[in-house]
Amino acid sequence: NAGVTQTPKFQVLKTGQSMTLQCAQDMNHEYMSWYRQDPGMGLRLIHYSVGAGITDQGEVPNGYNVSRSTTEDFPLRLLSAAPSQTSVYFCASSYSIIQGAFYEQFFGPGTRLTVL
């Protein structure tokens, strides 16, 4: 199993450009999430999905879109990049929630994004 994969590993954008961060998992996990990690702050949830066709907003969704057409893929789209979106982005997947417990997440290697 490849686990959770993310592409690209590094990206530099100019303000106003758009791009898609790719995330895929081969563990048949229903639950997938996108986080951003900034210096001095904990991981913050951008969007998440509990299964194909279902997405919801997290703590910091503005400026980002997601879709979940298949169980495996969960791309994150930046609509019009801004310097405030300079960050490291992590995708994660997990088993479905059972009896109210949220089980361990498997994280991708991250994408380091710089917006000039």
Interacting residues with other proteins (CB under 8 A): 31, 33, 40-45, 48, 50, 56, 58-59, 88, 90, 92, 94, 97, 100-107, 109-110, 112
Phi then psi dihedrals of residue 23, to 5 deg: -145, 135
Minimum CB–partner distance for residue 42 and other proteins (Å):
3
Q: Which is nearer to other proteins, 10 or 14 (CB)?
A: 10
Minimum CB–partner distance for residue 103 and other proteins (Å):
7
22: left (phi over 0), alpha (psi -120 to 50) or beta: beta
Minimum CB–partner distance for residue 69 and other proteins (Å):
20
Minimum CB–partner distance for residue 35 and other proteins (Å):
8
Cα(75)–Cα(113) distance, integer angstroms: 15
Cα(54)–Cα(7) distance, integer angstroms: 22
User: Which secondary structure element, helix H or strand E, spans residue 55, and what is its range?
Assistant: strand 54-57
Q: Which is nearer to other proteins, 31 or 85 (CB)?
A: 31
